[in-house]
Amino acid sequence: MMRVIWIILLLCSISAEYFGQQLSQYSQYQYSLFVINPAYAGNKDKMQGLITERRQWVGIEGAPHTQSLNFHTPFSNRKMGAGLSVYNETIGAHGTISAFGSYSYSIRTTTSSLSFGLRAGFYSYRINESKVDYRDENDPSALTNVQSNFVPTFDFGMHYYKGNFMAGFSAMNLLESEISLADNNIETNNLKRHAFVYTGYVFTLSEKWKFQPTVLGKLALNAPVNIDFNTSFIYDSKFGFGVSYRTNKAIVAMVQMWFAKNLRLGYSFDYEIGLMQSTTISGSHELFFGIDINKKNASVVNPRFL
């Protein structure tokens, strides 16, 4: 029995806070809202691709490490959009590969847009037993036949913008599918429903300078509400920098560059505070590379930052 308890603790206690949320953490979401809301698919009247690498809590063995690929595009009628997302994440001996397809429909005017989005896909969970120290190899209650687990999921979202203002909402893991990684059903869990609520505005400070504050609320069942307060300055649509505060968790510094007209590069560093503050943690690092391909006859002027 001690062997079973130890494996459960390994999978669930690297960060109770992290597993309580179950979704990957991103600090630079405001530069591609598609990662948190399927309704954003095709919203920018251009094809957009984003590759992201995130190493969380550097210095702690088994801390979250995530890679993701997101792509979305509008259809020719500009009322619909579609997207694809692929994620790979490891946390200790626990690994997850997930893939999602998104669809959006927009009600547009010359100055505004209200979009509704659906996303469907799956999580594939696995355990790397080579990273598990069983301690007692003769324990009869040990987990046996540890295997991958295929879990379906379904998400919904809404996104609105008018001029330089935007707001949105998304609900994730609506199916609350069961996760089971062993044939004895000792290690089971369910995907928890999550919700994201956000808003932001782009202020024009001068001919070349813009200021973009955004707020993101993250809610999960039986978990405290997390809020990100973000501020970004953008110069001449080519360079941006900002600071974010994640309530009781981290202070984030961010920098972005736009070059060759359609390429983007961004980096952020999270300095952990609160319960996660430790001399053994060297912060969290996030790097993204993006590409935008303009569509002809774009109907809505949407600031590139929203």
pLDDT digits over 79-125, tens only?
999 999 999 999 988 889 999 999 999 999 888 999 999 999 999 98
pLDDT digits over 137-187, tens only?
555 445 555 556 789 999 999 999 999 999 999 999 999 888 776 555 555
Nearest-CA neighbor of 219 among 245, 193, 243, 239? Answer: 193
pLDDT for position 8 = 35
Alpha carbon dihedral 45, 82, 72, 81, in 10-degree steps, equals 10
Global confidence as pTM:
0.83
pLDDT digits over 42-66, tens only?
988 789 999 999 999 888 888 899 9
Using CB atoms within 10 A of its CB, is residue 300 exposed (0-12), middle (13-18) or buried (19+)? Answer: middle
pLDDT for position 39 = 97
Q: What is the DSSP letter of 227?
A: E
pLDDT for position 137 = 57
- Nearest 5°: CA angle at 107, between 104 and 109? 135
Q: Is residue 9 very low, low, confident or very high in pLDDT (cuts 50, 70, 90)?
A: very low
Looking at per-residue confidence, does 43 or 199 come out higher?
199
**Domain spans in the chain, listed from the N-terminal domain onward:** 2-291
Specify the CATH architecture of the domain 2-291.
Beta Barrel (2.40)
Interatomic CA distance for residues 11 and 188, integer angstroms: 11
pLDDT digits over 13-36, tens only?
333 344 444 688 889 988 889 999
Q: Is residue 278 very low, low, confident or very high in pLDDT (cuts 50, 70, 90)?
A: low
Interatomic CA distance for residues 198 and 8, integer angstroms: 34
Looking at per-residue confidence, does 226 or 6 come out higher?
226
pLDDT digits over 243-271, tens only?
999 998 899 999 999 988 889 999 999 99
State the sign of the Cα–Cα–Cα–Cα dihedral 254, 40, 70, 57.
positive
